[in-house]
Amino acid sequence: MAPPSARRCSRLCLRLVLILLVLSTMLVLLSTVVFLLNPSSALSWALGSPQQVLAPAPDPGAYGGTSDCHCDDKGRQGQWNILYHLGGNSPWIQKIDDVVEGGFDPPKGCAVDMIHMMSRHGERYPTVNAGARMIKLLERVKAAGTPLKGSLEFLNEWKYFSETPGDHFEQLTTTGPYSGILQAFSTGVKLSTRYRHLMNFNDSAPPTYLWAGDVTRVVDTARYFSTGFFGLNSKHAKVIPVSEAADLGGNTLTPGETCLNNNLDIIKGHDNGYTQLYKFQSSYLPTISQRLLLENPTLEFTPSEIYSMQELCGFETLVRGSSPWCSVFTPAEWDSFEYARDVIHYYRSGPGNPYSRAMGWLWLNATTNLLVEGPMRAGPMYFSFVHDGDIVPLLSALGLFNDAHDLPVTHVEARRKWKTSQVTPMGGRIILERMTCGDDEQYVRINVNDGIVALDGCDSGPGKSCPLERFKEYVEKSGKEAGDFREVCGLGKDAEEGIRFLRQPGYGGYEQ
């Protein structure tokens, strides 16, 4: 039989083991919760060189209105962050330039009583076309059979981030800290916490509709968001896929598909975005090609291949959390890539496209009418899920981020307002908030990726918000200047002139 001292030691050791086990379990649970709520802050992934550190995406507190990003007095991040230079190919990031000070909490004496969100789908794999270019580039490098040196030396061992690319193209990413399904879910959790006071938990209440363009990645985003916002298999929510067919006229979430003139006009319409992109690419890509040729004289890359390399940085990051491709290029070269992405959006579906405002006005007009009706008559929450090419026209209709002149394609316009990296990243969102302040006065506030943005000429309300009646007049004026959607887009008078489906069940005017 063991002496008493040995038995006491044994009991003490057992207690210590149990305590350590409990603490370890609690730590794992806490880490899981933190990761689900904010994966970009929970994990930090380093790149190959100091200036290209992939810092966690700055994200405001999920429950409050203050930001945790460290910015200097110019509104820029103190540390250079590549996520702000990927032109929409990055995971979700907070807008930090040209925003109203004070965070996104409602101003003192105000309360949000209605929200309308338009969101891009979550983080995804490359499109079929972009992905095919990447695969073709990698096959050519492999066929050359020459060991690479310098900044591309990693390619000697590197493997593409999908073993079956064809199965993954255009679908949400499912791995890493920037997983598209995780981003959609965690966004739902954060916004559910922020707007929980708008939710109706009455068992007899009809479900809140969430509308999504009828493409797999968009519908999946809406469903994962809904799970985070309302709960798993909640009867309080229903995702409604909306056809992206070209014959729907104005009754659509994706007007770029239905605006005939936009698609046929190769001079000023959709395709002009690519024309202007190619012009700008010729101003910076050949120089990079020459630099890489010095490192590997037997392998010369075309400008298109260089551009694919830059795209690989963002898309691998969305899957793995980081990418050695990001270290191949200098900060100045990333500035050029960012600008190239701005150029294509500006001329393809933004202010540089004459059809853009009419396309963006459809959703803006329908939403404004609902804001005027108010939450009691129209319902307090509206969620629409689309593509970046559908959000950009909304910016045109609102007149946000307009520059005095069209973007040049001979050089980077460093002082431009038009920066899509902070507006349409993966999961990028615009929320129009209706606020009631003081003596029952209503205002509209614009939240772009958790940065409050003032509307030029209509920011006299609390926190640079716009008085609701003035906002209505602003939108009506924008509509007159944009022109009738059917006429601008070359559609017949029998085509739908606007959105009819955007209405919550259980409220006046709802159509099944």
CATH number of the domain residue 246 falls in:
3.40.50.1240
373 with 480, same domain: the answer is yes
Asked if residue 332 is part of any domain, the answer here is yes
Judgement on whether residues 311 and 381 belong to the same structural domain of the protein: no
Answer yes or no: is 16 within a domain: no
- Give yes or no: residues 327 and 196 share one domain: no
Q: Of the residues 294, 323, 344, which one is the last residue of a structural domain? A: 344
- Asked if 355 and 261 count as a contact pair (C-beta separation under 8 A), the reply is yes
Could you tell me the CA-to-CA distances from 58 to 33, 54, 320 in Å, in that order? 18, 11, 19
Listed residue (413, 412, 395, 391) closest to 404, CA to CA: 413
> Do 329 and 197 share a structural domain?
no
Contact 136, 489 (CB under 8 A): no
Which of 350, 295, 345, 288 is closest to 313 using CA atoms? 288
- Which ranges of the chain have pLDDT less than 50? 6, 9, 13, 17-77, 512
**Residue 2, token pair as written in the block:** 């063991």
Q: Which listed residue (85, 116, 121, 345) is catalytic?
A: 121
d(CA 271, CA 508): 41
At which of 344, 369, 395 does a domain end?
344
Pairing of strands 237-242, 381-386: unpaired
Last residue of a domain, one of 326, 344, 362: 344
- 121 as an active site residue: the answer is yes
Asked whether residue 35 is domain-assigned, the answer is: no
Residues 463 and 384 in one domain: yes
Query: What are φ and ψ of residue 211, in 5° steps?
Result: -95, 140
Residues 372 and 292 grouped into a single domain: no
Encoded tokens for 161 = 């981030």
388 assigned to active site: yes
Same domain, 166 and 265: no
Which of 397, 389, 402 is CA-nearest to residue 485? 397
Helices of type H across 67-154? 128-144
CA distance 310 to 327: 10
Tokens coding 160? 């593409």
* Alpha-carbon separation of residue 279 from 129, 264, 343, 344 (angstroms): 20, 21, 10, 10
Q: Are residues 225 and 237 in the same domain?
A: yes
Pick left, alpha or beta for residue 278 (phi over 0 → left; psi -120 to 50 → alpha; otherwise beta): alpha
Residue pair 288/337 in contact by the 8 Å Cβ criterion: no
Q: Is-contact 482 488, C-beta < 8 A?
A: yes
| Domain annotation covers residue 111 | yes
Residues 6+ away with beta carbon under 8 Å from 367:
116, 382, 432, 502
- Is residue 43 domain-resident? no
Count of domains forming the chain: 2
C-alpha Rg value of the chain to the nearest Å: 25
> What type of residue sits at position 431?
I
Answer yes or no: are the C-beta atoms of 259 and 485 closer than 8 Å.
yes
Q: Is the domain of 386 the same as that of 481?
A: yes
Cα atoms in the Cβ-side hemisphere of radius 13 Å centred on 235: 6
Q: What global pTM score does this model have?
A: 0.86
Q: Are 213 and 385 in contact (CB under 8 A)?
A: yes
Identify whether 159 is part of a domain.
yes
- Residue 398: which H helix or E strand, with range? helix 388-398
pLDDT for 79: 82
- Which residue of the set 388, 390, 450, 459 is catalytic? 388
| Cβ contact 123:177 at 8 Å | no
Phi, psi of 447 (to 5 degrees): -110, 115
Question: In sequence order, which residues have a C-beta less than 8 Å from that of residue 130 and are 6 or more positions away?
Answer: 308, 311, 315
* Residue 222 shares a structural domain with residue 319: no
Q: Which domain holds residue 114?
A: 91-124+173-270+349-488
Q: Is residue 85 part of a domain?
A: no
Flag whether 462 is in a domain.
Answer: yes
For residues 203 and 248, membership in a common domain is answered with yes
Residues 178 and 250 in one domain: yes
